[in-house]
Structure 1
């Protein structure tokens, strides 16, 4: 396994992984394209890391983006991680956070927020393992596939 910063050429693989979670772990309703991920990959203040297998195929990604464009939120970011479904449960995603969290700190982030579907216990436990704590539940905030979806908000503060 190899972990590195994402390159523009990784955008399609990142989109392909993300799109496998439509309707089950994201509020996005339409597939994203490589073009949608280019700004995140290229942003100076949004570190994005990928995990590649031995064949250099992207099998997971994680990134931090600014929480808001309002100046008072300069220390806050929102963190996201997705792994190729066939790799879930193999304890690989933690390696992405091992790389990403220090990079986010170095860029000045001191508060990270994760929004997770409330029924995604494995993601909640994963984030707890990296020092995130639950700060609230947004009841029925989403509507995906005709179902109301609750999300939990988790945070890590340095």
Structure 2
């Protein structure tokens, strides 16, 4: 019997994605230093985050889904966001971007598809520059960002403490 063929599609995030997106994020909260959140969230606690990423404008949420065969439900493989860089008005043309992939969906190009769709959407917006903070070490994320034209601009040393140790965050920027 041949393996089941799957197709990955990227689309804007919607309310019905919230539980799956929260589950993906909570994996990184509980198991990795990739995010500096230290306590898992409920889906309702994450709702304001979801609502802060409408389908248009500079703050977007793109979701990668996989459909195994017609009639089956879509499985969420990951997501990418562009969010406010800082809250002050002069920063409105800068965004901070991030991508999270389900733990069993890595090395399939999902992050690449998500960023491609996100940056295509942002091309129509009044956004000048994107920034990404990458907790170190994280070679896969560094490679992804460099592949999309991000340039290294500096490192905040031992800026976050999680799992009983301090972590550096390398900062990257990209012209949009």
TM-score range, shorter chain: over 0.9
| 1:77 Cα deviation after fit | 0.5
| Pairwise CA RMSD | 1.3
Structure 2: gaps of 5 or more residues: 1-7, 68-72
User: What corresponds to 2:97 in structure 1?
Assistant: 79
Is 2:39 the partner of 1:30? yes
Aligned length: 158
Relative to the length of structure 1, the TM-score reads 0.94
Relative to the length of structure 2, the TM-score reads 0.84
Assess if the C-alpha contact under 8 Å between 2:77 and 2:110 holds in 1. no
Structure 1: gaps of 5 or more residues: none
Assess if the C-alpha contact under 8 Å between 1:40 and 1:65 holds in 2. no
User: What corresponds to 2:61 in structure 1?
Assistant: 48
Distance 1:107 1:37 in 2: 25
Stretches of 4+ aligned residues off by more than 4 angstroms: none
Higher Cα radius of gyration: 2
Equivalent residue in structure 2 for 1:8, among 11, 15, 30: 15
